[in-house]
Each structure stands twice: as C-alpha cells, then as structure tokens.
Amino acid sequence: MPNWVGHDNKMDGMNRHIYRLVAAVLAAITIVSCNDAMRSETFRVLEDVDSYIEARPDSALAVLEGINKSELTSKELEAKYALLLSQALDKNYIDLQSDSIIAPAVRYYENHGTPDERLLTHYYRGVIYLNDGDRESAMESYIKAERYVDECRDYGVIARLYTAKMNLYQYAYDFASALEQEEIASSYFLKDKDTIRYISTLNTITGLKMQLGQYSEAYQYLDKIKSLWNNLDEYQKSIYYSNMLHLSKSDSVLNTGSILKEYVSEISNHQYADWLNIANAYISVSDYQSASDAIDRYIEYGGIANAPYYWTLALLYEGLKEYEKSNSAYKEYFKITGEENVVILESDTKFIEERHKKEIELIDAEHSKERITLISIIAILCAVIIIYLIRKQLQIRTAEKKQLEIEKKRYEQLYADAIAERDALTKMIEDSSVKDETKAVIRERLEVLNKVIISHITDTSSANKKAYQELEALVADKESFIESTRLTIEGNNPEFIAALKKQGLTDEEINICCLYVIGLKGKDIKAYTSQPRLYIQSAEIRHKLGLTENDTNLAIHLRNMLEKEVC
C-alpha cells in the first residue's frame, strides 16, 4: 500500500520551504527597492540644495543639518553631502579648521565625480587649511584644484580659486604672482557675469599694480571701474577712493584734498571706509587733527594695532612733533614687521607652485616612460602575432600543397583506371558474342568515359578540377554499371538469373557471372573490377554450379546455361 501520508508530509515540507524562499526574495526586493527609493530621494534633496546654495546658504545649511546620516546609503551620497556641508558652513561664515567633515568628499572624488566636484573639493579643503593658518597646505590644495580648471564649467568657483591663490601670494609679498592670479580671476568672473566680484578684482588689480609701481596702468583700471560706477556697492566705492588716495601720492595731477572730501561725503556707511589710508592722506596734506580722528575711527570700527597702524601713528606723532611717542610707534612697527618677515621667510608658500610644477614634470616624464614601455610591449606583441600568423599561413600553404599533390596522384590513378575501363569495354563491344542489349549498356558507359577522358586532356587547369570530380564520380559508379549489366541480362533472361540464385549464388557472384556471359575473360574481369579474389570467387562459383576441375571453362558453361534457359 502506498505511503500517501508520508508523501503528503514531504510535499508540505517542500511547500513551506518554497514559501520561505519566496518570502525572503520578496523581502530582499522590498529592502532594495526601499533603499533605492531612499537613495533617490536623498540624492534629489542634495541636488536641490546644490541649486540654491549660492543664493541662500542659510537655507542650504538648515536643510543639510536636518538630513539623517543613515540616509547617506552610499559613498557617493556621503561625498556629496560632505562637500555641500563644507560649502554651506563656509558661506555662513562658520570657519572649519579641520578637514574631518570634507574628508569623505576628498576620498570619493579622488577617483570619481565630475571635474567641477573635484575642483570644489580641493578648493574648500584649501579654505579649511587656510582657516587653520596652514598656508602651505592650502596652496597645495588650490594647485590640485587647478588641475580641473580646463574641464570645469563653474566659472565662479574657478575665479574664487585664483583669488584665493592671489591672497596667498600677496601675503608672501610676491605681488607679481598675485597680480597674475587676480587677472585670471577677473576674466572668469567676467565669464560668469558676476559684475560685483568682477569689479572687486579690478580694485585688487589696481592696488597690486601700484605695489609694482605700474601707476599708469593702475590709473587705467580706476577709469574702467569709474565706467561701471552705477554697479558698485558702497564697499567697492570705498576701495576705489582708497586706491585713488594711494595713487595721488605718486601722481601730482591728482588732488589728495579733493579725493578725501569726495571720499568722506560719498561713503555714508563709515564702517566701509579705509580710515587708516584716510589718516595717511590727511597726514600727507598736514591735516593732523583729521588724521587723528581718522585713526580713532579706525580703532572704533574694528581696526587692529598692526604694522600699518603703528607706521601711520608714528607719522602722525612725528607731524605733531611728539617724537617720543613717534619713536615708540616706530619701535612697535619694526618689532611687528620683523616677526612677520621671519614668518614669511620661513613660509614655503611662494615656492609650492614651482615645486608642484617640477613634480608634475617628473610625473609626466614617468608617464612618458610608461607610455614608451607600453608601446614597446604592444609592438613586440604585434610582431609576435604577425610572425605567428605568417608561420600559420606557411603551414596552411604547405599542408595545402601536400594535399594537392595527394589529390593529383589520386586523380592520375582515377584517370588510369578510366583508361583501363574504356579499353576493357571497347573489347567487349568488339566481341561478337555479346548481345545487342548488353552492347547498348556498354556503349552508354563508354560514351560517358570518353567524355570525361577528353575533358581531362583538353580542359584548362580550372576546368580540370571539374573533370576530375566527374572522373571520380564515374569510377566510383563502376558498381552501378556492373549492376545495370546484370539487370539487362535479367530483364531479357529471367530464367537464367533465377537458375543462378537457385544454385545459391550471391548477388556479387551473379554479377561476375554476367560479366563472363557478355564475353569478358577472367583476367579482364579482374582488371575491371579490381577484385584480387576473383579467381577464388570463380572457384566458389564453379563449386556451387557443380563443376569440377576437369569440367568445361566457367564462361562457356555459363553461356550454355543461358542458351539452355532461353531455349
């Protein structure tokens, strides 16, 4: 009796296993789908923040701080979030002094991301280094960012990058390099259609040109700024007047007093005014009271007691003939500038770019060597492949040549066989004992043989191939000719064939008997059929027909049998 209960239990177990498997697969699909949906939503939020971070950095920071870190389900999302958060903090004047926040972006964008993302990452990492006072590392980051300038399409970021480099060169008193960087920044702000920042670069370029003694060019830039006057904000106008005051010291055409009067009246927000420069201008026209007021305003609005402050203070006291105070201010000035010069001299900022360029040259040289090595390896491989193909082709041709020689010998043998068969059949036709029906079959065979033989002799080499193929088919068809001979005799003398079968002869033996009947001799049959056992077969036929060694010839006996059966 079948164990149906056990079978049902097994089926239930199998079904439960299948259900669990299906449930697990569905759960996995659901989790993946949810993760994908979460990733897509988080990515959309980050893309949205990226679109307004410049215009509304406070809103961008609020949204970024509201994102749950568990939603950052991939390295790409972590990197994008880290970069945007670093930007948002910087734009909200929250100075980072550690690169821990931007680190995921640095790691990911080292080998991934767009040129814009890579440039931004190195730029903001440089900003963080600068906040920490590490100018050398800041410059290295800016130079790394500069690698992607040609592929980057965010002209505003490129411009800020060059302005950042300008500040570092200016700090190191390398005014020529600073000017070069700011001129590049100016061109990119212009491309970005950022008029406010473009004007700021024009003001900076003006100041740098005066530092380099290029006063006529500085004046040209001031004229350019004046032509954009309606686009200037109050702070930029203040810088314009400040540069005019500096230029008036070396240009007698400019009236310092008039510039001062216009400066003070034009700038309503006194926090924007360059009070230290104003104080120096008042000192140059011997208005010491106004100069003293200007210095007080400088301190009132957040100015620091730095080297320029003490220099101006020393000039003021000297003008007021308060020499002790003047000497004290000078001492403070030289003390500060001495310390600053030591720091600047110890700083490697000026030489980082040159060193980096050398490193790039070395890397390029190394890459060039690698390319040459790679090209050499490819060339060697190509040569090996070509040699292999040539050798393979030679082997194929040698094999084809050998095959052609074999084919040639085979066809020559076939041709010889065809000639031998033609000669044998011709003798049959000439034998008067061969019946007309058999002669008709032989003539048909001869006609085909002659056609092929003539084709073999007269055709071109291309036609010979066809002739050989016909010859091969013809020689291979010899058996069918022998069979047709037997059928012809059987059609006319069925009793004769029946009598042979009755004596126990095989079809092959009956075919040999038919060749004897049409007049072929034993040696002709052996040559025609290529049968090495013909004489043995003939002896077997004689035995089956009851003939002894002393009895008549087999061919004569067979003809007598045929005549007897016909009669």
* Strongest mean pLDDT among 283-287, 333-337, 350-354: 283-287
Q: How confident is the model at residue 114 (pLDDT cuts 50, 70, 90)?
A: very high
Q: Identify the residue with better confidence: 316 or 361.
A: 316
Alpha carbons 117 and 86: distance in angstroms, whole number: 13
Alpha carbons 89 and 96: distance in angstroms, whole number: 8
User: Do 470 and 456 meet the contact criterion of CB atoms below 8 Å apart?
Assistant: no
Residue with tokens 């212009």: 190
Question: For residue 126, is pLDDT > 90?
Answer: yes
Q: How confident is the model at residue 2 (pLDDT cuts 50, 70, 90)?
A: very low
Give me 473's structure tokens.
Answer: 């088919």
The pLDDT assigned to 463 comes to 44
Question: For residue 277, is pLDDT > 70?
Answer: yes
Q: Which of 361, 312, 302 is nearest to 336 (CA)?
A: 312
Alpha carbons 62 and 80: distance in angstroms, whole number: 16
Question: For residue 49, is pLDDT > 60?
Answer: yes
What's phi and psi for 305, nearest 5 deg?
-80, 75
Q: Identify the residue with better confidence: 240 or 335.
A: 240
* Strongest mean pLDDT among 178-187, 471-480, 510-519: 178-187
Question: For residue 416, is pLDDT > 80?
Answer: no
Share of the chain above pLDDT 90, in %: 29
Q: From the CB of residue 40, how many other CB atoms can be counted at a distance below 10 Å? A: 10
Give residue-wise pLDDT tens across range 192-203: 999 999 999 999
DSSP 113: S
Q: Which of 503, 502, 490 is nearest to 540 (CA)?
A: 503
Q: Which of 505, 498, 493, 486 is nearest to 545 (CA)?
A: 505
The pLDDT assigned to 180 comes to 94
Question: For residue 301, is pLDDT > 80?
Answer: yes
37-54 mean pLDDT? 83
User: Do 207 and 219 meet the contact criterion of CB atoms below 8 Å apart?
Assistant: no
Question: For residue 26, is pLDDT > 60?
Answer: no
Alpha carbons 483 and 475: distance in angstroms, whole number: 14
Mean pLDDT computed over every residue of the chain? 80
Q: Identify the residue with better confidence: 438 or 290.
A: 290
Give the chain's length.
567
The pLDDT assigned to 198 comes to 93
User: Do 120 and 83 meet the contact criterion of CB atoms below 8 Å apart?
Assistant: yes
Q: How confident is the model at residue 105 (pLDDT cuts 50, 70, 90)?
A: very high
Q: How confident is the model at residue 187 (pLDDT cuts 50, 70, 90)?
A: very high
Share of the chain above pLDDT 70, in %: 77
The pLDDT assigned to 460 comes to 44
466-479 mean pLDDT? 62
Question: For residue 343, is pLDDT > 60?
Answer: no
- Sign, CA torsion 369/371/372/374: positive
Q: From the CB of residue 379, how many other CB atoms can be counted at a distance below 10 Å? A: 10
The pLDDT assigned to 476 comes to 60
Question: For residue 511, is pLDDT > 60?
Answer: yes
Gyration radius (Cα) of the chain, Å? 56
Question: For residue 220, is pLDDT > 70?
Answer: yes
* Strongest mean pLDDT among 242-246, 348-352, 357-361: 242-246
343-369 mean pLDDT? 56
**pTM of this prediction?**
0.55
Q: From the CB of residue 341, how many other CB atoms can be counted at a distance below 10 Å? A: 11
Helical packing angle, 522-529 and 507-517, nearest 10°: 130
Q: How confident is the model at residue 59 (pLDDT cuts 50, 70, 90)?
A: very high
Q: How confident is the model at residue 470 (pLDDT cuts 50, 70, 90)?
A: low
Question: For residue 262, is pLDDT > 80?
Answer: yes
DSSP 67: S
Give me 288's structure tokens.
Answer: 């010491």
Q: Identify the residue with better confidence: 439 or 238.
A: 238
Alpha carbons 169 and 179: distance in angstroms, whole number: 9
Q: How confident is the model at residue 141 (pLDDT cuts 50, 70, 90)?
A: very high
126-152 mean pLDDT? 92
Which of 45-54, 198-207, 267-276, 488-497 has the lowest average pLDDT? 488-497
Give residue-wise pLDDT tens across range 67-103: 888 888 899 999 999 999 999 999 998 988 888 999 9
User: Do 544 and 504 meet the contact criterion of CB atoms below 8 Å apart?
Assistant: yes
What sections of 347-477 are H helices per DSSP? 349-430, 436-458, 461-476
173-178 mean pLDDT? 90
Q: How confident is the model at residue 14 (pLDDT cuts 50, 70, 90)?
A: low
499-515 mean pLDDT? 88
236-256 mean pLDDT? 85
DSSP 418: H
Question: For residue 385, is pLDDT > 80?
Answer: yes
Question: For residue 462, is pLDDT > 50?
Answer: no
For the chain, which residues make up each domain, given as ranges?
478-567
Question: For residue 28, is pLDDT > 90?
Answer: no
Q: Which of 491, 493, 489 is nearest to 512 (CA)?
A: 489
Question: For residue 34, is pLDDT > 50?
Answer: no
